[in-house]
Amino acid sequence: MATEGPQAGRGVRRLCAQAGELHGAARALREDHHRALDAVRSALAPIRDRLVAEELGSIPVARLKDVTEGRLRLQAMEAAGMTSVRAVHEASRYELRQLPGVGEQTADRALAAARQIARAVAETVSVRIDVDRPEPRTTALVVALHRLVEAGPELRRALDAAARLDERLGALLPVARPAAGRLRMVFAGRKRRTRALAAVAELRQTVRDAQERALRLLLAQATTDLLRPPVSEIEAWVDFELRSAEYYSQLAEISEHRTDVAASEGFLPSDVAERVHAQPLDDTHRRVSLRGYQSFGARFALAQRRVILGDEMGLGKTVQAVAALAHLAAEGHSRFLVVCPAGVLINWTREIRARSTLRALPVHGPDRQDAYAQWCERGGVAVTTFDVLHTLPAPDTSKGAAPALLVVDEAHYVKNPDTRRARTVAVWAGQCERVLFLTGTPMENRVEEFRALLRHVRPDLVPAVRRSDAVAGPQAFRTSVAPAYLRRNQQDVLTELPALLQVDEWEEFSAADQDAYRAAVAEGNFMAMRRAAYADPEKSAKLQRLRELVEEAADNGLKVVVFSYFRDVLAAVAQVLGETTARTPVLGPISGSVPAARRQRLVDDFTGAGGPAVLLSQIEAGGVGLNLQAASVVVLCEPQVKPTLEHQAVARAHRMGQTRPVQVHRLLAADSVDERLLHILENKSRLFDAYARRSDTAEATPDAVDVSDAELARRIVEEEQQRLAGNAAGTACI
């Protein structure tokens, strides 16, 4: 046979050599990854052991009887001073048998019961990494995690590819090798020759696919990332502060912490949950790792096609939507549409570009029709607002122009069917096969509103939604609407997430904001530039977003503290919130002129409020000396020049005594002084300096770390004057 000639043999040998190298690279990556995981587990073990020991120390030794159904006699152990399960767990069999009255059987049963309780405790303890109080054990954990975090989301793709190649090539290579030599094929026998030739064909296809997908380069890059020498302790801590969520995501995956599965899956019935689990989720176009519950949410949207995702604020609804978009793009779909309030349009654009390889196209402003035409022609993710949507021509479904997925953010905006925005969304939703509504408002408290939203996505389910289901409780309600509604709460899924969730809320200047900003830049007034976004409270984009955050927090029963450097900004905030959030008391502001006793009374009133509340404070006055752990949401009206000042203000709420994660929302204006300041806050050398020189004095006084910023302010003013002058010149030339 021609396939058995010398030429064919040499070709097969080359093929086997290529496949062997690819197989070796895949196995090497998996081994390197296992070593990296082992390093994290080794660093994690003593921390978890300590947490388990502390928990066991609080459990009375009498609980051992519960495990053994009362068959254990503990009097001798209690008489010897063993009052907790920890004392028994840490004792050896020999030590227990030395106690008067403790025999071999009692010692064995007691140890077995203590170990059983310890295993149960180990499954529930949550590891918190305290950036303000680093100690050797947590430092070792952060350094070990850094290697995996630095490898980025591409590591998961590389590992998945390596696993497939290792299994496939490991099976094919031994079968194909006889075809590499003529004599081997002669003596192989007919069946073996047939299998060898079939294996060669499969090897050739596998190697070709790997080349087309550049898997060798992907494996090499991932291996290089995992083999980098460990960073210094301070560099690891600085990186942790910049992207703590990614560290906790890795930690939760490695520690295999068990959350309440039913709660993390929104108490869906088993048939719906099974369908969701069976839904694949392609990460080819995704640039972010997902938490388990986030992956489930994206799969839910894909499997159920037309749904409402109602996760509590702070759980990453945007990331789940981006994951669904990326999966559909990998399947070959090209057009997607996101509809949102104007205040979050720029956030969506940035998130899509940062979290995926998809093309984000804002359809907003004077050029919106051109942008829409470009989207119709070239595809991508069009991001538009409720107010703009009605001006866009509906897609021609006969030509397949409908979006593959329509995402409607802050979907409670269309709860009133009589409004223009609701009618417009209804038209688009009717044209789309897949629809994803996002809302952080708990729908089980507003059955009629939920029915209105459900009409957009699953009108067939509306008759089944009864008020009695809501009366029976949130779990019963969610079960009754499971085919179209998924909601998870923070307390159910954030057991291993950081206690601090930071979100940058990017806004575009309104026309009034822009005029005030240009005037401040022309005057060279740095402080006026920083607060220009609040010059006209009624038209302020930042204040509109702040109001939305406060309303969503109120819907979820959360307290909010609002910080600003400027008193007049806080006055504008008080004015807007006072006009629009009557059900939420607004306290303060706390400022430098408010006596200490009065400040504490404001904090006490805020803490004692029976439901949601808002406390306003100047950042320098409220950022030091007050405990605001009643707050679950912190809003920073503008970035601060001094990083430590911002850090201390957040620490007022995010401290011991805080029982749930704290969300920090920083309001930022694009193309402004805010962007310049943000670069400073994220500058690693600046943070490195803060860590390297950390001391009690530095913690108490921001000026002990931060240098004078007069020169910095002057430079930012000059840069903005040049930028705006350049934009004006460019516009004049058009």
Compute the average pLDDT of residues 587-609: 86
How many angstroms separate the CA atoms of 490 and 661, rounded? Answer: 8
399 or 374, greater pLDDT: 374
pLDDT above 70 covers what percent of the chain? Answer: 85
What is the predicted pLDDT for the residue at 659?
Answer: 52
- pLDDT band at residue 437 under the 50/70/90 scheme: very high
Whether 563 and 620 have beta carbons less than 8 Å apart is answered as: no
Out of 285-294, 532-541, 626-635, 717-726, least confident range: 626-635
Whether 665 and 636 have beta carbons less than 8 Å apart is answered as: yes
Render pLDDT for 113-156 as a digit per residue (tens, 0 to 9). Answer: 899 888 888 877 778 787 767 889 999 999 999 999 999 888 98
- pLDDT band at residue 202 under the 50/70/90 scheme: very high
Chosen CATH of 500-733 out of 3.30.365.10, 3.90.950.20, 3.40.50.300, 3.90.110.10: 3.40.50.300
- Max mean pLDDT range (387-401, 427-441, 677-691): 427-441
What is the predicted pLDDT for the residue at 706?
Answer: 43
How many angstroms separate the CA atoms of 340 and 343, rounded? Answer: 8
Do 500-733 and 261-493 have the same topology in CATH? yes
Domain residue limits, the chain: 1-258, 261-493, 500-733
What is the predicted pLDDT for the residue at 163?
Answer: 94
466 or 701, greater pLDDT: 466
Annotate 372-383 with b (16+ C-beta within 10 A) or e (fewer): beebbeebbbbb
Domain 261-493 in this protein, CATH class: alpha beta
Compute the average pLDDT of residues 437-456: 83
Closest among 507, 588, 599, 512 to 549, alpha carbons compared: 507
Q: How far is CA 325 from the centre of its chain?
A: 16
pLDDT of residue 21 exceeding 50, the answer is yes
pLDDT of residue 4 exceeding 90, the answer is no
Query: Which distant-in-sequence residues (6+ apart) come within 8 Å of 564 by Cβ?
Result: 531, 570, 573, 616, 618, 619, 636, 637, 638
What is the predicted pLDDT for the residue at 436?
Answer: 98
Render pLDDT for 162-177 as a digit per residue (tens, 0 to 9). Answer: 999 999 999 999 888 7
Closest among 194, 212, 193, 202 to 167, alpha carbons compared: 202
How many angstroms separate the CA atoms of 563 and 570, rounded? Answer: 8
Render pLDDT for 235-279 as a digit per residue (tens, 0 to 9). Answer: 898 888 777 778 887 887 787 655 567 778 888 888 999 999 999
pLDDT of residue 642 exceeding 80, the answer is no
Considering the chain, what is the average pLDDT of its residues? 84
What is the predicted pLDDT for the residue at 3?
Answer: 45
Three-class secondary structure of residue 541 per DSSP: helix
What is the predicted pLDDT for the residue at 684?
Answer: 45
- pLDDT band at residue 289 under the 50/70/90 scheme: confident
Q: What is the pTM of this model?
A: 0.69
Compute the average pLDDT of residues 521-544: 93
